[in-house]
Structure 1
Amino acid sequence: MTIGQPTPPSRADVEVRFTAILNGGQSRDEVDRWATRAMQTLEYAEVDETIWWALGMLSGIDLRDGPDEPYLHDDEQVLGWLTEFRERCRAIS
């Protein structure tokens, strides 16, 4: 086993998480935990700016004002972030 810098998720991995929220494939809690864990693991690693931005959007995706309140970020906003993520990926490619 080689010990070195942690490997950041790919752009495809990130896109899958945005899509999973929108189609119900994963809960917001699952995606939040995945993104937060990735950000903590990658804190000192070199990470693509677009991936780092997306992880920041996905981290906290399960936040609410209160236990019976809707999510702070609705599906329309998540779709907007997915669209922006795809645009950022095209701009860098």
Structure 2
Amino acid sequence: MNEDGQPGPDEIDACFAAVAEGRTSRDAADRWAARWVVDTTLEWDDLSWWALQLLHGIDLRPGPEEPYLHDDEQVREWLAEFRRRRAARPA
């Protein structure tokens, strides 16, 4: 977290990884991201905003008994893409 208590790339990566590895529920990840996405007083870099928007909604289903809108493979792909983009950013 940065000095304002706002999550940084490490925390966002950890949340994605926890979902991808089954260590946290999609609902918990969605709620975690939602608190940041809805706070309009915060400013985000493009990569963090992209990732937070994916996490906020990661638990969506087309119906109550339907599988998740985005399957586990998609979540792993998002995590890999986040890590690729993060590594390509200037230090």
Task: Give the TM-score of the pair, scaled to structure 1.
Answer: 0.86
Cα distance in 2 for residues equivalent to 1:45 and 1:15: 19
Deviates more, 1:68-77 or 1:6-15: 6-15
1:58 and 2:55 aligned: yes
Which 4+ stretches in 1 moved above 4 angstroms?
Answer: none
Give the letter for the 1:54 counterpart.
Answer: A
Give the equivalent residue in structure 2 for 1:77: 74
Cα distance in 2 for residues equivalent to 1:36 and 1:23: 20
Give the letter for the 2:17 counterpart.
Answer: T
Larger of the two Rg values belongs to structure: 1
Secondary structure, aligned partner of 2:57: coil
Give the equivalent residue in structure 2 for 1:29: 27
| Structure 1 residue 7: Cα displacement | 4.1
Cα distance in 1 for residues equivalent to 2:46 and 2:57: 18
Deviations 1:53-90 (A, max 9, x none): 00011110000011111000001000110011011111
Count of aligned positions: 88
Cα distance in 1 for residues equivalent to 2:35 and 2:68: 21
Cα distance in 2 for residues equivalent to 1:44 and 1:53: 17
Query: 1:8–1:47: 8 Å Cα contact kept in structure 2?
Result: no
In structure 2, the gaps of 5 or more residues are none
